[in-house]
Structure 1
């Protein structure tokens, strides 16, 4: 077992290191500018393609309907990420990549592959089936996985476990599904316009029911498997090379397989779609939801177990590990700070909670021999951020700890307690003998039971 890194001995503010020289192409504004330009160009191209296929009116209808599940899905993934919330820029990048870059790659590659198969086989119907069940899962899941890979490689500090992988993958897939739903719903609306259909039996209504009501989680569910693979790889030690290399592709293959099964459900007969939905999609969704929530609870337990070392060293107050390991206490701390000191104080408390959680995860990886070479530097950075916010955060967290602390039961003493009714506090006529129920003295509670002490009467003559 790896030797744990040394604990800090005193809460003195760490000195920051000298920034190393970076080439011009390594500067942050250059990378952000190039990435933003790429995503913007992809968005403009995909916008033109979708509008050309659906028409302006169909595009607007598809956009209005496709946006409905997006806030709910984003809120769900953000809720999962509340223990150690990642920066919003990562989620914004993931959504933009899925909606723009991944969607553009999928539309171009799927169209090219389907046309090539139809030309090679001279069978357009089989080409469409093969494209939906084989080509589309491979292309789309690979395009979405690229966003997870980029954050895993270049934002490694923000990618520390399974929950991070699930959130990044799910948000990327939400963006992809958003663009795809615009295309499908806009096309369905155009079909209804040509046929003169309307009402509940229209193609638009049927498409909306299947894609927005029944399966808004379909694309996130597929890509989350890829995110879990990357998340487990992030938890692996530096010496576990095989595990780190094989798990992400394994998750990607599972995502492709689930996606192919879902796309091929329409070819399984009249009720194939509903059979796959009930027997495959819903159980998988429930299992993955349970896994993610269980992982989140394990993260809170890690916070409670790792932070007492810093409290013993003086960096944290004794009550803080308990408060930081409870989502209810965290919320109470932010509310208390907001009520007494304003929104800026609440924001500082939220930052304090996030830094403390990152510190707990860092030490957990260090104890297991999975921390990187920059463990000490990263630890000092996090401690410095906590120390800067301690004056605002500590009173709020202390209040939250007192509000959420469990009451301590007081056991009855094994000796007689004399009260207003005499020995054992037993009122006359209670029906107990010398030793009452369960072999106890009259009035004595069972061993370990929480009972109030009778009031002492100094004026009563003891028998």
Structure 2
């Protein structure tokens, strides 16, 4: 029998699970690679070598700002980097390629049929009707794919908005390379040297004034998918209609934005100030509210696991506070290095997923694999608890002291004496199964806390939601029949 420290939980998977996952990943990587090569050749052909380099250098400027903003929104339960990388690559390569090809064919068809006598009318219809439909559908496909195939990581409004925003950021990046490169080519054709009128105007409108335009449109689609993800499996109509309504709304916003250029000299400013900015403000407020709601959900649902012995009493408080989380990572990094701080980050991520899993069950929308997923997350927590729990306990006490102590008496941020348990490991924290740790010495044993103990491999430790729970609700979604 392996020692507890060597045992690793492995959830049961279908025999074909690994092969299917690998095949899907290889197919997507191949598709995105081919799309990237084709879009690179098309953009370079349209802009020329110099225009391509100028457009690339200018278009990349807003990308770090937008990606940082979306990652900040996603800090409560960060999306796996693979999901974000896929979303950006899909927007920059596959969605842009579809948009260029489809928009070109549609505009040519309009020019040769209903608008044969007026090419300008065909361009207007293409920009206000065809382009919004094609582009928002192409970008929304990335959100749909992650909604269907990465369902575990898609469980709320913030996830939908972040995935949609990253996808649209990639799309806007490639589109800006094309527009700025073409503008530079026009300036060169007219005899200007360097960045002159057309390039400067395009840069000001697309990079300075409206870098959030494409992310704003697609985030409406992501918002609808996020709301749909919180619906139960039996609410199929809601899960289908909400994304469709979000996609149609995104197309409408996109069409109004593209059509502003046809409303006269002040049409752009009017639409920008009276329409786009208010919508942007409302969506930003809604996403920040959803982010705070996620923290409140952690505070509400993790105490059930603390009562069962999986968490110490201070941990639900610390995990529901971004300030306490940051302090726990900072203290651990100063005391034990970056690998230990990364372990604390993993612990907070798994604990957040556990809270959201139980929150969905309380809303009446439990995951089909609720029990298996709960067991998997609890084991991930237990493997890291010896390092993360003392740091989070210290962070809870330190943030509480800062909140209530006078300014001159507030403790300094950083490691303090006495916050680590007495029985040490190479990291400075206790191994699972230890006795008389800092938790018991601090009085938590009297409040009902007791340590779980390891069971033979293949079974969860005790007490657990599956063996001898403190609460009869463990081991099944809340609200289900015993």
Q: TM-score per shorter chain, which class?
A: 0.7 to 0.9
Please give the per-residue CA displacement for 1:377-401, whole angstroms capped at 9, x wherever unaligned: 0000000000000011011101110
Query: What is aligned with 2:283?
Result: 288
- Larger Rg computed on CA atoms: 1
Deviation at 1:122, TM superposition (A): 3.7
| Inter-partner Cα distance in structure 1 for 2:276 and 2:294 | 27
State the 1:239 CA deviation.
1.9
Structure 1 residue aligned with 2:36, among 14, 36, 43? 43
Contact 1:199 1:205 in 2 (8 A): no
Q: 1:345 aligns with which of 327, 340, 343?
A: 340
Distance 1:16 1:36, change over 3 A: closer
Q: Which deviates the most, 193-202 or 114-123?
A: 193-202
Deviations 1:304-336 (A, max 9, x none): 111111111110010000000000000000001
Give the distance between the partners of 1:394 and 1:286, measured in 2 at CA: 38
2:56 alignment partner in structure 1: 63
How many residue pairs end up in the alignment?
397
Q: How far apart in 2 are the matches of 1:248 and 1:202?
A: 41
Corresponding residue number in structure 2 for 1:185: 180
Which deviations, in whole Å up to 9, do the C-alpha atoms of 1:397-420 show, x marking residues without a partner? Answer: 01110111167989xxxxxxxxxx
Change (3 A) 1:42 1:409: closer
What SS does the aligned partner of 1:405 have? helix
In structure 2, what is the Cα distance between the partners aligned to 1:189 and 1:200?
A: 7
Structure 1 residue 276, shift from structure 2 partner: 0.4
| CA drift at 1:374 | 0.7
Question: Which runs of 5 or more structure 1 residues have no equivalent in the other structure?
Answer: 1-12, 411-463
Alignment-derived partner of residue 307 in structure 1: 302
Measure the CA separation in 1 of the matches of 2:403 and 2:281. Answer: 37
1:211 aligns with 2:206: yes
Matches within 5 A, 1:152-191: 152-191=147-186
- SS of 1:390's equivalent in the other structure is helix
Structure 2 regions of 5+ residues with no counterpart?
1-6, 406-482
Superposition deviation, residue 369 in structure 1? 1.6
What secondary structure is seen at the aligned counterpart in 1 of 2:55?
A: helix
Shift in Å, 1:373: 2.0
Task: Tell me what 2:90 maps to.
Answer: 97
Q: Does 1:83 align with 2:110?
A: no
CA distance in 2, matches of 1:406, 1:339: 20
Q: Deviations over 1:252-278 (max 9, x none)?
A: 000000000000000001110011000
Q: Does the CA-based 8 Å contact 1:14-1:381 persist in structure 2? A: no
* 1:333 and 2:328 are equivalent in the alignment: yes
Q: Quote the Cα distance in structure 2 between the aligned partners of 1:151 and 1:23.
A: 17
Contact kept in structure 1, 2:299 and 2:316, CA below 8 Å: yes
Distance 2:333 2:403 in 1: 30
| Equivalent-residue separation in structure 1 for 2:150 and 2:182 (angstroms) | 38
Q: Distance in 2 between matches of 1:326 and 1:171?
A: 25
Aligned to 1:21: 15
- Post-superposition Cα deviations, 1:204-225, rounded to whole Å, max 9, x if no partner, equal 0000000000000000000000
Instruction: Work out which of the residue numbers 105, 111, 131 in structure 2 matches 1:112.
Output: 105
Could you tell me how far apart the structure 2 residues matched to 1:244 and 1:359 are?
23
- Deviation of 1:18 (Å): 3.5
1:189 and 1:203 in contact (8 A); partners too: yes
TM-score calculated relative to the size of structure 2: 0.80
Aligned-residue offset at 1:368: 1.9
**Inter-partner Cα distance in structure 2 for 1:137 and 1:355:** 38
Aligned partner (choices 310, 313, 320) of residue 318 of structure 1: 313
Residues 14 and 380 in structure 1, CA contact (< 8 A), matched pair in contact too: no
> In the aligned structure 2, how far is the partner of 1:149 from the partner of 1:324?
30
TM-score between the two structures when normalised by the length of structure 1: 0.83
Does the C-alpha gap of structure 1 residues 283 and 186 become closer, same or farther in structure 2, counting only changes over 3 Å? Answer: same
Question: How do residues 341-380 of structure 1 correspond to structure 2 at under 5 angstroms?
Answer: 341-380=336-375
Q: Deviations over 1:38-78 (max 9, x none)?
A: 10000000001001100000000000000000011001000
Provide the C-alpha distance between the structure 2 equivalents of 1:41 and 1:314, rounded to a whole number of angstroms: 51
Deviation at 1:237, TM superposition (A): 1.1
More off after superposition, 365-374 vs 319-328: 365-374
Task: Measure, in 2, the Cα distance between the counterparts of 1:38 and 1:200.
Answer: 35
CA distance in 1, matches of 2:182, 2:8: 59
Residue of structure 2 in register with 1:125 after alignment: 120
In the TM superposition, what whole-angstrom CA distance separates every residue of 1:328-372 from its partner, at most 9, and x where no partner exists? 000000001101111011000000000000000111111222112
Q: Residue 314 of structure 1: SS of its match in structure 2? A: coil
- Which deviates further from its counterpart, 163-172 or 368-377? 368-377
